Amino acid sequence: MEANIAVPTEEKGKWDGGGPKPFNASYGKMMMWFFILSDALTFSGFLAAYGLTRFKFINSWPIADEVFTHVPFVHGDFPMIYVAIMTFILIFSSVTMVLAVDAGHQMKKSKVTWYMFATILGGIIFVGSQAWEWNTFINGTYGAVKTTEGKVLQFVKDGKQISLADFVTEPRTDGRIQHTRKNGLWFEGEGTVQNYSVAQVLKSYNANPDIQVRTEFIDLDKKQKTILSREEGALRLAEVKTVIEGANLQANEYGNTSFSDFFFFITGFHGFHVVSGIVINIIIFFNVILGTYEKRGNYEMVEKVGLYWHFVDLVWVFVFTFFYLV
C-alpha cells in the first residue's frame, strides 16, 4: 500500500493533498508562526529563570538605576535614558517594517525599498548601542571590593556612591603589572590585573574619614543599599580578598554575580536574534531592489520576515521590563 504524502504549495486556497489553508495562510507563513511560537517558549523559560533567581536573591540584586546610567559622549548620571532611546529606535523600526509590508500589499516597490532600508538602519543602530552598553557594563563605573565570602562592598561619600579613582591616590606598592606576551619570559594568558590593589584601597579608606562602606544588601523598605558605619566598614574591609572593576561571569561590581550572568546571556541571545533579523532583512532588501517579488507578483517574503522582526521587538519589551524597569 502506498502512502499519499501531502506536498505543500503556494496554490491559492489549499495545500496539495490537504484541505483549505489553515487560517488562510501560506505554508511558509505557517512555518514562521511555528518558529515564533517555539522561540517565544524559549525566551519565556529564560525570563522565568531570571525572575526566580532574582526573587531568591532579592536583597542583593543590583539596582538598575545605579547600573545603567551612561549616555555616549556625555558625562553624568542619566539613569535609563540611553536604554529608553535604544528601545524607541527598535520599536520605530517595527513601525517601518509594518509600512514596508503594507507597501508590498500595494505592490509599491520604491516604498518597500525605503521602508526596508529604514528598518535595517534601526536594527544596526540598536545592535551598535547594545554593544556599547555591554562594553560599558564590562568595564564598570565605580569599582568595588569582594570579601572572602563573595560579598561585594562599595564606597560612598555623603550618601552617594563614588569610584575607587575618587579616593585611591596611592600608587601600587606590590609592583604588579599585567602579564603579557611582551613582558613575560614565558607567556601564559591571565585575567586582567586590576588598577588598584587591596592594600591601596584599605590604606586610602583609612586615610579618608568621610568615606563609608556600602554593602550589596538592600533595605527593602528604603529601596537603598545598606551603608555601614566607619567601624563596621573597617571590620568588613578586613575580610576583602580582591578588587572588582566592572562585571563579568566571575564577579560583578554592582552586586550579585547572577545578575551579570543573566544579563549577558539573555540580552546576548536577543542580540543574536536582532543580528539574524538584520542579515535576513538585507537579503530581502536586495531582492526587492532586483525586482524578485515584482516578478512573483507578491511581497509575501517581506511579510514573513516582518513577522520575525515584530517578534524580536516584542521580546525586547519583556527583556527591557525585566532587566531595567522592575
Instruction: Encode pLDDT of 225-239 as tens digits.
Output: 889 999 999 999 999
Q: What is the pLDDT of residue 12?
A: 47
Mean pLDDT within 203-219: 90
Give the H or E element holding residue 156: strand 152-157
Q: What is the pLDDT of residue 1?
A: 46
Q: Is the pLDDT of residue 19 over 90?
A: no
261: left (phi over 0), alpha (psi -120 to 50) or beta: alpha
Q: What is the pLDDT of residue 189?
A: 55
Residue range 22-140+259-325 forms a domain whose CATH class is mainly alpha
User: For the ranges 174-178, 301-305, 308-312, which has the lowest average pLDDT?
Assistant: 174-178
Asked whether 128 and 85 are in contact (CB, 8 A), the reply is no
Specify the amino acid at residue 116. Answer: M
Asked whether 277 and 308 are in contact (CB, 8 A), the reply is yes
pTM of the model: 0.83
Confidence label for 248 from pLDDT (cuts 50, 70 and 90)? confident
Q: What is the pLDDT of residue 131?
A: 95
What 8-state DSSP symbol labels residue 215?
A: E
Q: Is the pLDDT of residue 81 over 90?
A: yes
Written as nine digits, the cell of 114 is: 525605503
Residues 6+ apart with CB under 8 A from 156: 162, 211, 212, 213, 214, 227
Q: Is 240 helix (H, G, I), strand (E, B) or coil?
A: strand
Q: Is the pLDDT of residue 2 over 90?
A: no
Q: What is the pLDDT of residue 173?
A: 58
What does the alpha-carbon distance between residue 262 and residue 91 come to, in Å, rounded to a whole number?
23
Q: What is the pLDDT of residue 13?
A: 46
Give the H or E element holding residue 52: helix 27-56
Domain boundaries, the chain: 22-140+259-325, 144-245
Q: What is the pLDDT of residue 94?
A: 95
Written as nine digits, the cell of 28 is: 511558509
Q: What is the pLDDT of residue 317?
A: 95
Q: Is the pLDDT of residue 249 over 70?
A: yes
- Would you mind telling me the total number of residues written for the chain in this entry? 326
Q: Is the pLDDT of residue 167 over 70?
A: yes
Kindly provide the b/e burial profile for residues 181-216, where b requires at least 16 CB atoms within 10 angstroms of the residue's own CB. Answer: eeeeeeeeeeeeebebbbebbbebbeebeebbbbbb
Q: Is the pLDDT of residue 177 over 70?
A: no
Q: Average per-residue pLDDT in the chain? A: 86
Q: What is the pLDDT of residue 152?
A: 92
Mean pLDDT within 8-15: 48
pLDDT tens-digit profile of 97-113?
999 999 999 999 999 99
